[in-house]
Structure 1
Amino acid sequence: MRIASWNVNSLNVRLPHLEQWLRERAPDVAALQETKLEDSRFPDDALAALGYHSVFAGQKTYNGVALLSRMPATDVQIGIPGFEDEQRRVIAATFGDLRVVNLYVVNGHSVGSEKYAYKLRWLDAVHGWLASERLRWPNLVVLGDFNIAPADRDTHDPAIWNDDSILTSTAERAALRRLEGLGLADSYRWFSDEAGQFSWWDYRAAAFRRNLGLRIDLVLASEGLRPRATGAAIDREPRTWERPSDHAPVWLDID
């Protein structure tokens, strides 16, 4: 079973890329972020033609999340229970014995800003919710665009991306570790300790060609799934396509 995540950075623009990628990589579950579409415009018919069921929560121009799957989703949850938020950043569903939570984590803009404070509040709310989800669902996968690079090896230059920088600040990384403390692991690191492996590259300064990136797209999985895990990857190829998303898909394979 392949469980994937991709920040498509506008499904309106990237739908042909998504269709090609689904045909070539054939994930069983795919979590999308930044769909940037109102629900009435979501291309569920086009995706159904490729064999995928869709559940989604979108808004015009910003944010938007979706789960695509070979089997129908059950127990769908949109948003963080008890956390009032107009931004469409969270969708969860169950597929067989697997609970999948798709997050588009707040960027935060800059350390100390109002958006940064919102990011930390949002992550605290996610932690509280996932603590209860973890009790309900032994096989839990939390994936998406986390907008946090877990460690220095997940940045192209730790001198730039340091404790005072957005996406790598002390408080953001501490919030990510709290999520991992619920019994979730960064599944990519089950298979690779290598530094310099990234999932996001800025459009500017030829960042992709120069590999000036960050690894901020993550698949956190219950430790109990580790014996079933057979591989994890960052798929750089779609980042080479014409008019690409600035993110690459990531995935975890489990038996």
Structure 2
Amino acid sequence: MNVATWNVNSIRTRLDHLVRWLENNRLENNPVDVLCLQETKVTDAEFPRAAIEALGYQVYISGQKSYNGVALLSRAPVETVTAGFAPLLGDTVADLDEQKRVISGVVSGVYILNLYVPNGSEIGSDKYQYKLRWLATLRDYLKNLLPQQPHILVCGDFNIAPEDRDIHDPTGRETRVMASDAERLALQHAIFDLGFVDAFRQFSQASEFTWWDYRAAAFRRNMGWRIDHHYLSPQLSPKAKRCTIDKAPRGWEKPSDHVPVIVELEV
């Protein structure tokens, strides 16, 4: 089963890219079974589901106007679809589900949790504190989920580069959002301390990136960050066969600033 994550930075703007990419993979006999989208930026009613359903995918969405938004596209039916943290954690999530950043479901026995982690804006800001609180809630969510669902895949735009090698130039990263010590520690508590494995690092130790700023010819100069991830639970990681980053769509006309990351699972 091939599972991909992709921050499309507006599903309506990037619909042609999405269709092209899914068709290319199908023609290469390597179809994407589940595609997890972030930053769809559209309400559920306006999501362009017909074009995607025409490719043979079922569509599950949690969106909002102009901001955020997540979706699951799957060739097989998705079981037990939920949105937000509240279905598992209840009222303890407070305001954290107001922004549409979480959707999950079970495909072929794998619990897929698709996330759009807050950016944080700048260190010390209210949005930065919100991000840290959000990540602490993610830890609570996964800690409660693991006894129920041993095979968990957590993926999405994490807006965090876990290590210095995940940034083209880590100089001064301590003062930069997406690489500060507090963010990395929050990721450590939420993901790695619970035994989850970075699927990309399971197969590669190279410095490769998934996001490039639109400014300063960053993509052409490969001035990127690796902030889009697949994390596998301890019982699922042995079933991973490979994890790859597809940079091709970043070179298309009017691209998303992120590219797809694909993990292949033997399930």
TM-score, normalised to structure 2, is 0.93
Please name the residue that 2:241 is paired with. Answer: 230
Aligned counterparts of 2:256 and 2:7: Cα–Cα separation in 1: 7
Please name the residue that 1:112 is paired with. Answer: 124
Of 82, 98, 106, which residue of structure 1 is paired with 2:110?
A: 98
Give unmatched runs, 5+ long, in structure 1: none
Residue 71 in structure 1 maps to residue 83 in structure 2: no
Give unmatched runs, 5+ long, in structure 2: 26-30
SS of equivalent to 2:14 = helix
Map 1:156-171 → 2, pairs under 5 A: 156-160=168-172, 162-171=173-182
C-alpha deviation, 1:64, in angstroms: 0.4
Residue 19 in structure 1 maps to residue 19 in structure 2: yes
Residue 201 in structure 1 maps to residue 206 in structure 2: no
Map 1:44-59 → 2, pairs under 5 A: 44-59=49-64
Offset from partner CA, 1:177-234 (integer Å, 9 cap, x none): 1122112111000110012x00000000000000001000000011222322111101
C-alpha deviation, 1:77, in angstroms: 1.2
SS of equivalent to 1:149 = coil
Letter in 1 for 2:8: V
Letter in 2 for 1:169: S
Please name the residue that 2:256 is paired with. Answer: 245
C-alpha deviation, 1:73, in angstroms: 0.9
SS of equivalent to 1:11 = coil
Aligned counterparts of 2:237 and 2:125: Cα–Cα separation in 1: 38
C-alpha deviation, 1:23, in angstroms: 1.2
Offset from partner CA, 1:133-173 (integer Å, 9 cap, x none): 1111111000000000000000011104x122100000100
SS of equivalent to 2:68 = coil
Letter in 2 for 1:198: F
The CA RMSD measured in Å over matched residues stands at: 0.9
SS of equivalent to 2:238 = helix
Offset from partner CA, 1:94-122 (integer Å, 9 cap, x none): 11210000000000000000000000001
SS of equivalent to 1:56 = strand
Aligned counterparts of 2:116 and 2:186: Cα–Cα separation in 1: 15
Please name the residue that 1:173 is paired with. Answer: 184
Please name the residue that 1:7 is paired with. Answer: 7
C-alpha deviation, 1:3, in angstroms: 0.7
Aligned counterparts of 1:205 and 1:106: Cα–Cα separation in 2: 24
Of 28, 34, 45, which residue of structure 2 is paired with 1:29?
A: 34
